Amino acid sequence: MSAMAMGRRRDRAHTLGLWIATNDLPQTGGHPFYRLLNQTLEAHDFDAFVESQCAAFYAQRGRPSVPPGVYVRLLLIGYFEGLDSERGIAWRAADSLALRGFLGLGLDEAPPDHSTISRTRRLIDVETHQAVFTWVLQVIAVAGLVRGKTIGIDATTLEANAALRSIVRRDSGETYQTFLTQLAVASGIVTPTRADLTRLDRARHRKGSNQDWQHPHDPDARITRMKDGRTHLAHKAEHAVDMETGAIVGVTVHGADQGDTTTMTDTVTAAAKQLEAVATVTMGQTCVIEEVVADKGYHSNETLLDLKRLCVRTYMAEPDRGRRSWTGRVAERDAVYANRRRNRSARGRALQRRRSERLERPNAHLYETGGMRRTHLRGHTNILKRLLVHVGGFNLGLLLRTLTGIGTPRGRQGRLTAALAIIVELWTLIVDPSDVVDQRLLVLTREAPLTASPCMRSVRLATGC
């Protein structure tokens, strides 16, 4: 593996000069957020930690590459700005003054382009990205945002950067079109047309088997049904979430055709290792998985029995399987019945209600607004590298939300309008709106977006605007 010349992030004096140079320029609401995020990272010596972790991948000679701290910040920008590709991250960093300040770049400096980001990601191994995720988890654990006792497990599918029309046979390497043509010729159609191939393909069963087909450029992608019902090549991301705080304590990437009961063991193991590392900086105050909460897709005799042997209590929703026979399976029966009793308790019902909040919300933040529902990377290793820093950004946002009430740069949008709306509503409660309402307030209610706040909508109804 080739090495890159180590480059250090610009010192604070240069960054201060950037803010002085841009003091007279208009600033968006993202400037305070990224400034506070940088202060949080610098307070814990983030750059020194990352450079020490990446020292083995950099050489002392050669042209300086992107500093490790800047590289990680670029991936964090991908989460906070909702950018799915490294090309989009590079473009956004070049256009935004707030992001230039976050990266420590001056107005006369160009941020790293997408090819530099991609090359840096390829050279730095997945263990280093895992160390960055652990560092972020330790930082939020010191702030009291990691408990570790009760963990929720959930998975989602990520659309792969691969097309179904490009798949090939695993045994012979033939394309799908060539395979269909040979079938048509063997069935008696000498010169099959496209309509003939379509008719022949429609009548075939198990035509999209992952045991027979793969993508030549992304062998890790699997044919599966997406959330919206489409059939596509995809990957599976699985998370372990602290049910008390909402922090993500473990993340793994698997084939999309693997069942939840198969991948759950790897995710629980990864989360346990992370919590053990967190416990070293919290003086043992962080627990290491005493309870596991999951939906009915994870419920199986083997899973419940394995977790029982590890002295882990389970709160898994049980699917309706009807009356079951337990002949010769006493241990499995006891594990299933114990899980059923716990689910029917008050705590079990409360955890199942909390599951939809703690497990579904991170998926929306990471993959819908965070822009990772469709990945532009190939291979589980590359996807996991990006995903580890992506989840680290989610955890940092959780810390900033605890400190300031805002966890993303866009969280400030609508705050001023909402505050003005509250003032207007209080004013209408004191003064008759049909008599002495200020004309400027009427203009404000007309220009404000309808979805700004319930208070503003009530003002419009009261004033007739």
Give the C-alpha separation, 304 to 300, whole Å.
6
Nearest residue to 66 via CA among 106, 34, 114: 114
For residue 451, what pLDDT is reported? 42
Give the C-alpha separation, 314 to 242, whole Å.
14
Q: Examine the domain organization and report whether 269 and 326 are in the same domain.
A: yes
For residue 74, what pLDDT is reported? 94
**Is 307 a member of any domain?**
yes
Q: Examine the domain organization and report whether 187 and 250 are in the same domain.
A: no
- Name, in order, each residue with C-beta under 8 angstroms of 405's C-beta and a sequence gap of 6 or more: 411
**Is 382 a member of any domain?**
no
Encode pLDDT of 203-240 as tens digits: 777 778 888 889 999 999 999 988 888 889 999 999 99
For residue 459, what pLDDT is reported? 36
For residue 445, what pLDDT is reported? 46
Q: Examine the domain organization and report whether 256 and 327 are in the same domain.
A: yes
Q: Examine the domain organization and report whether 340 and 270 are in the same domain.
A: yes
Q: Examine the domain organization and report whether 155 and 179 are in the same domain.
A: no
- Residue segments in the chain with a per-residue pLDDT below the cut of 70: 1-30, 412-421, 424, 427-429, 431-465
Give the C-alpha separation, 459 to 441, whole Å.
10
**Is 384 a member of any domain?**
no
Question: What separation in angstroms does the CA of 255 have from each of 220, 223, 229, 234?
Answer: 6, 9, 18, 8
For residue 95, what pLDDT is reported? 87
Q: What percent of the chain has pLDDT over 90?
A: 51
**Is 28 a member of any domain?**
yes
Q: Examine the domain organization and report whether 347 and 242 are in the same domain.
A: yes
Encode pLDDT of 156-200 as tens digits: 999 999 998 899 988 888 888 888 888 888 888 878 888 878 878
Q: DSSP assignment, residue 152?
A: E
Q: Examine the domain organization and report whether 180 and 267 are in the same domain.
A: no
Q: Examine the domain organization and report whether 15 and 99 are in the same domain.
A: yes
CB 71 within 8 A of CB 4: no
For residue 256, what pLDDT is reported? 92
| Number of structural domains the chain divides into | 4
> pTM higher than 0.75, yes or no?
yes
**Is 94 a member of any domain?**
yes
Mean pLDDT of the chain: 83
Question: Domain residues for 208?
Answer: 168-214
Cα 185 from chain centroid? 47
Q: Examine the domain organization and report whether 153 and 284 are in the same domain.
A: yes
